[in-house]
Structure 1
């Protein structure tokens, strides 16, 4: 879509002070998908030269905001990390064309804050932490689970930039499980649930996305029983937090979330289905 209110596209390295009507431009797959009447200038991040994915000295993975879905998928496929399958599963949850895979960015998916954003699901499940950079150069770190605050809402301040997302080494070394549901084949996620079993202490984290307006996580010191898991999810997600749109009504999303979460609990419970 043409953005006919935009008057200027600038290299983000030399764009000067932030102005009203500015927006960061990474892949642009969402930015150019609908009218943006308030925009006057785009600050292009494509020449920042950020390495798509870095392995830090402590074993953590740092994903640049400009990392494309293709780059992330390729990096994970070449990794021996236990959590590597979850990357491909979440990348595939886009159900997108090759053009979107090669243009859409991890950072853009997070900053859009849409409930069905699979990069939100992935980075939240793996204890991701966002590095945010303000206009004055100061930085702050916010967990992904707190970064997305509602449907299409994030913790970004005016002019603030998402620089990267860091996934800690213990998370990428954990066993994972993935479940997704949609109302129709190749449809947008109506419910997406992930499970991460910590290899160090056997704790389990279950993350609910797509069905809710923002991510919700439930942590257990060990895999819970079915009733405990259900009670934890129902207690964590308020009634008004179940998302409601054309891709699924709240009662259906709630039902599918509980069903998928139980499948994940069964899959990640050592030795079988676990206590009921």
Structure 2
């Protein structure tokens, strides 16, 4: 879609004062998908030269905000971490045309803050941490689970830029389980739950996304039974936190959340113990 209110496009490598009407341009799959009458200037990140993905000396995975879904999928396909299959599962949770697969960025998915954003699901479940850069040069870090605070609502200050997301090596070494539901075969996620088991202390973590307006996480220090998981989900998600749109009513999303939470518990706790 043409953005007929944009009067200027600037290379992000040029330092300039952030002003009302500015917007960061990554892959552009959201910006150019619908009218953006508030935008006057696009600041293009495509020439920043950020390495899409890299492993640090500590074994952590750093994902640049400009990393595309296709790049993430290819990189994870060659990895031998126990959590590697989860990357492809989340990449395939997109309703992805060729354009989205090759142009949409991990950072853009997070910064849209949509409940169905599978990169939010992936990085929140793996204890990802966002690195945010302010126009002043100040840096702050926010866990992904706290970065998205509501449907389309993010912890981003004016002019602040998501530079990267870091996934710790410890999370990459954990076992995972994935469940996703849509009303249609190629529909947007109505519920997406991920379970992880810590490779050191065996803690089970359950991350709920898509069915809720923000990521909700539950941690179980000891292997839980079905009742413990149900009580945690029932008490930890308020009725108004279940998302309501054409992709699923809150009652259905709640039902699928309880169903998948138990399936994940059974897979990671009971089946693993046999």
Residue in structure 2 matched with residue 126 of structure 1 by the alignment: 126
Other-structure match for 1:28: 28
* Secondary structure of 2:13 counterpart: helix
2:55 matched to which residue of 1?
55
Q: Does 1:67 align with 2:67?
A: yes
Which 10-residue stretch deviates more, 218-227 or 105-114?
Answer: 218-227
Change (3 A) 1:152 1:271: closer
Partners of 2:95 and 2:38 in 1: CA distance: 29
Q: Give the match for residue 185 of structure 1.
A: 185
Name the counterpart of 2:216.
216
CA contact (8 A) 1:265 1:273 kept: no
Determine the C-alpha separation between the residues in 2 that align with 1:273 and 1:237: 29
What are the equivalent positions in structure 2 for 1:227-246 lying under 5 Å apart?
Answer: 227-246=227-246
1:115-141 deviations in Å (ceiling 9; x for gaps): 000000000000000000001000000
Are the equivalent residues in 2 in contact too, given 1:15–1:43 (CA < 8 A)? no
Partner of 2:202: 202
- 126 and 171 in structure 1: CA distance in 2 versus 1, 3 angstrom threshold: same
Who is 2:136 aligned against? Answer: 136
CA RMSD of superposed structures (Å): 1.1
Unmatched runs of 5 consecutive residues or more in structure 2:
none
Residue 273 to residue 266, structure 1, CA distance change in 2 (3 Å): farther
Matches within 5 A, 1:138-157: 138-157=138-157
Q: What is the CA–CA distance in structure 1 between the aligned matches of 2:121 and 2:262, rounded to whole Å?
A: 18
Counterparts of 1:271 and 1:8, CA distance in 2: 57
Q: Is the 8 A contact 1:86 1:178 kept in 2?
A: yes
Q: Does 1:13 align with 2:13?
A: yes
Displacement after TM superposition at 1:189 (Å): 0.3
Length, aligned pairs only: 274
Q: CA deviation at 1:223?
A: 2.4
Q: Distance in 2 between matches of 1:43 and 1:227?
A: 50
State the shift of 1:270 in Å.
4.8
Cα separation, partners in 2 of 1:160 and 1:272, compared to 1, 3 Å: closer
Question: What corresponds to 2:3 in structure 1?
Answer: 3
Output the CA distance in 2 between the equivalents of 1:69 and 1:236: 31
TM-score by length of 2: 0.98
CA distance in 1, matches of 2:271, 2:148: 35
Structure 1 residue runs of 4+, over 2 Å off?
A: 270-274
TM-score relative to the length of structure 1: 0.97
| Pair 1:78 & 2:73 matched | no
